Amino acid sequence: MTDPVTSPTTDDREVLIQVRGLLSQFGERTIHENLDLDVRRGEVLGVVGGSGTGKTVLLNSIIGLKEPEGGSIRIFDHDISDMTKEQAADIERRTGVLFQQGALYSSLSVLDNVASPLVEHTKMPRDMIRELAEMKIAMVGLKPESHHLKPAELSGGMKKRVGLARALALDPELLFLDEPTAGLDPIGAAAFDDLIRTLSDDLGLTVFMITHDLDSLYAICDQVAVLADKHVVEKATVQELERSDHPWIKEYFLGPRGRAANKAA
Ligand SMILES: Nc1ncnc2c1ncn2[C@@H]1O[C@H](COP(=O)(O)OP(=O)(O)OP(=O)(O)O)[C@@H](O)[C@H]1O
């Protein structure tokens, strides 16, 4: 089995996220126990696991929305349990998040949604904020006609793109995506995969992406972390995982859907 922490052993890129011995609980229920994970700069990491294995709880723990019951999490080399307000704000600025449901402000236009992190975190003049927001909207492939639309007037794919534009508003180094292609048709999902890969290549982004979408793993992920048995059982390339002996991984990659995704890749 591949060691989730040290694989690949020759990789000396900076570790942007380091999780050690994570313990996550809700009341009596333990979701994570002894979970270790490293995410290195420039990596596009897919996070997979059965439903309810704690992928979103892991994301929320890393970005500080859920306090761990034990273990440590370092992000940009800061221990998240021991940060000043300034350090926390700095990390927030360097991090973009696309939540599963997009989490757009329903009363704000597309332009104002994308501008909102710039308004909150910078002192830039209004004109400059507008210009930057327009740039991000173009970057995710949306036309200027979308600027004044409200979220209720957008398709699922457009909402995801607006959420992504907002996540990119502050030029983050690290991007978290929670099931970005869920709910998209296969063509929309493939287009979104391409967009994420292009952005990560062009901007040198490090990506932490929760997904159930095997096509996305094959299309864009350098590494895949598998959550099972309350921890990361393997972190490796998809090609390495195809040879894993772990029963869930075997079923996932070598079952009918896995074989189809492999063929298509
Ligand atoms: N706020 C909460 N209070 C109590 N239990 C919670 C809370 N948030 C999550 N859980 C539980 O933690 C477990 C892991 O949830 P999580 O959403 O991380 O799973 P997941 O792997 O992302 O699942 P899916 O693939 O279905 O989205 C689930 O059993 C869920 O019910």
- Tens of each residue's pLDDT in the chain, 265 residues: 444 444 445 678 899 999 999 999 999 999 999 999 999 999 999 999 999 999 999 999 999 999 999 999 999 989 999 888 888 888 988 999 998 766 889 899 999 999 999 998 889 999 999 999 999 999 888 899 999 999 999 988 888 889 999 999 999 999 999 988 887 788 878 888 888 888 888 888 999 999 988 888 988 999 999 999 999 999 999 999 999 999 999 888 887 666 666 666 6
**Cβ within 8 Å of residue 107, ≥6 positions away:** 150
From ligand 1's centre to the CA of 63, what distance in Å? Answer: 16
pLDDT for position 185: 80
pLDDT for position 115: 96
Instruction: Verify whether ligand 1 is closer than 6 Å to residue 31 (CB atom).
Output: yes
> Which of 24, 33, 35, 55 to mutate to test ligand 1, by most ligand atoms within 8 A of the CB atom?
55
In this prediction the ipTM stands at 0.97
From ligand 1's centre to the CA of 265, what distance in Å? Answer: 30
Q: Supply the residue whose CA is at minimum distance from atom 26 of ligand 1.
A: 51
Instruction: Verify whether ligand 1 is closer than 6 Å to residue 221 (CB atom).
Output: no
pLDDT for position 206: 95
pLDDT for position 183: 79
From ligand 1's centre to the CA of 215, what distance in Å? Answer: 24
From 179, 146, 152, select the one nearest 165 (Cα to Cα).
146
Instruction: Verify whether ligand 1 is closer than 6 Å to residue 56 (CB atom).
Output: yes
Instruction: Verify whether ligand 1 is closer than 6 Å to residue 10 (CB atom).
Output: no
pTM comes to: 0.89
What token pair was written down for 214?
A: 């095997």
> Which of 22, 26, 101 to mutate to test ligand 1, by most ligand atoms within 8 A of the CB atom?
26
The whole-angstrom separation of Cα 23 and Cα 100 is 23
Report the nearest atom of ligand 1 relative to the CA of 54.
18
Answer for the pair 58, 226: CB distance below 8 angstroms, yes or no: no
pLDDT for position 221: 94
